[in-house]
Chain A
Amino acid sequence: MYDIKPLEEEWKKYKKKKRKPWFVLIFSIFFILLISFTFLNYEEIDFLKFNDQNKVSVVANQAKTVLIDKPLVTLETKKPKVNAVSQKTETKPMIVISENDSMEIVEDLPIAENDKAIKETSVKIKTVETVEKPRKKMHLNIIESTSVSAYKDVERRFKQSHDADDSLFLAKNYYDKKNYKKAEYWALQTNKVNGNIEESWLIFVKSKVKLGRKNEAIHILTNYIKKSNSAAAKNLLNKIKEGTL
């Protein structure tokens, strides 16, 4: 046996070749697992975070505690995402909410229910007055963002949690962006959840004025002033009447 060394080399090559499919298979499985794990993990974490936030806000709502820092909490958790987008869009907004977007929601908006909602809210105002609950002070850390996904996230979250802070956030932002239909819709949603938020009433009324429904706005605002005797509301009523809004 003189050719043992070449034979050993040949055997090593053979072994290498034989193991190759296994390595490929193991690597593929590992790669697939890694990909799926990363993907699932991200989705799961995102979902869990979302759920946790909902829990916090729902519990807070039930307890009727003062929601001072909660909006900060809920918004801060979303901060990295929104910030990342806002940083990018500071110089040049990447996505602008189009009219079409607002139309979609307005279609869902129950116009016929508007009056009903107003009635409901006026009833709520009455109860508020009799109980004489301290009015909540809202401190919202509103982050400027043009990201549609950021609004969508908040909208989705609201649908699950019915947190007035979320709907108010949306109403204010849409109003600032002159998307009055959406602002009106979200202000109404806020009033449905909590009829004692003055800011929400004012946005609701201002949106109606901007949408050309001045008389309706005056009627609602007058009712609100009767119940709340709010100086800001009176001031707004004057502005509407003068047409300086």
Chain B
Amino acid sequence: MKSRYEAAKNVFIDSIDIDDYIELESSVTAYKQLKHSMDKPLKMILLFGRPGTGKSILLNRIHEKLKHQKEIHYFDTPPINEKEFFHKLFKVLTKQDLPNNTEVNFSALVDFCKNLRGKREIIILLDEAQMYGPEMMEKIRLLSDSRSVKFVVSLHKTDDEDLIAKEHFQSRIWEVIELKNATKEDQTTYIHKKLLKKNLFEIANSIKDKNMKYIHTYTKGNYRECNKLLFTIFEICEYYDTNEPSKINYEQMPQRIIEMAALKLGYIHV
């Protein structure tokens, strides 16, 4: 017999699947802010925040929502090299595949973009932009100067490698949207909504406010960490449910299990 916790566990598999998107107050605000910025005649928009704050899923969602209204393209992972990136960009801009054994001439591509001005407005969503080199970023900037291609750049907020700090980049970014870790209330809503989406009412009710407080403390409100922790919690619950049911309280999530999961993931130490 399948454990009731198996389904709960699978709810928290980390993904950027648009079906897993949970509308929270903060995410709705970020979505509206991004959409509003995209409507403005800006060349580049920066979306930044710590890993796991929902940047990718936000880009994904905006792509899904607007793909039928606007010419919008989502570049999820950075290409291995510059050549491949321009191949991809060529295909988006010209709507044609690049002939075999040919390379994109960058200046020709810039000219092409300039010609598109006023005719088309292309939005390109660049995820994980911290992986693009400075040279490539400079070329992206030159393309955005054509005013026919708008870039939404999403990058991690890191201490040592902060692209915003780079002068050439800073001066060209017109709008900055920062995504932050969830508050306790937002995280509670996030967990409940995720479980309720899969009709796991009993399990959702078994996670009490006190449990949420600990979950928020351990994960610091980070969605990715939250997914990891809840996956582990339900993994432990699944084991107990199948092998030692006496060790689990179905009415209320035992604090012990949350602490065990936190220990396993290294949030707390012996």
* Chain A residues within CB distance 8 Å of chain B: 1, 3-4, 7-8, 10-11, 13-15, 17
> Are A11 and B260 touching (Cβ within 8 A)?
yes
Q: Check: B213 CB closer than 8 A to any chain A CB.
A: no
Which of the listed residues A1, A10, A14 has the most CB atoms from chain B within 10 Å of its own CB? A1
Report B46 CB to chain A, min CB distance, Å. 41
Report A11 CB to chain B, min CB distance, Å. 5
Residue of A nearest to B232 (CB): A1
Q: Is the interface of A mostly helix, strand, loop or mixed?
A: helix
Extra 14 A-B pairs, beta carbons < 8 Å, given A7-B260, A8-B260, A10-B260? A1-B236, A3-B264, A4-B236, A4-B239, A4-B240, A7-B263, A7-B264, A11-B260, A11-B263, A13-B270, A14-B263, A14-B268, A15-B259, A17-B270
Report A150 CB to chain B, min CB distance, Å. 60
Q: Check: B256 CB closer than 8 A to any chain A CB.
A: yes
CA distance A4 to B256 in the complex (A): 12
Tell me the number of A-to-B contacts counted with CB atoms below 8 Å. Answer: 28
CA distance A3 to B263 in the complex (A): 12
List chain A residues, Cβ under 8 A from B225.
none
> Are B270 and A10 touching (Cβ within 8 A)?
yes
Please report the total number of B residues contacting A with Cβ < 8 Å. Answer: 13
Q: B235, B236, B240, B263: which contacts A10 (Cβ < 8 A)?
A: B263
Report A138 CB to chain B, min CB distance, Å. 76
List chain B residues, Cβ under 8 A from A17.
270
Q: Check: B127 CB closer than 8 A to any chain A CB.
A: no
CA distance A147 to B177 in the complex (A): 86
List chain A residues, Cβ under 8 A from B269.
14
CA distance A17 to B263 in the complex (A): 13
Report B230 CB to chain A, min CB distance, Å. 14
CA distance A17 to B259 in the complex (A): 13
Q: Which 10 A-B pairs have the closest CB atoms?
A: A1-B239, A13-B270, A11-B260, A14-B270, A1-B235, A7-B260, A4-B239, A10-B263, A10-B270, A7-B264
CA distance A3 to B264 in the complex (A): 10
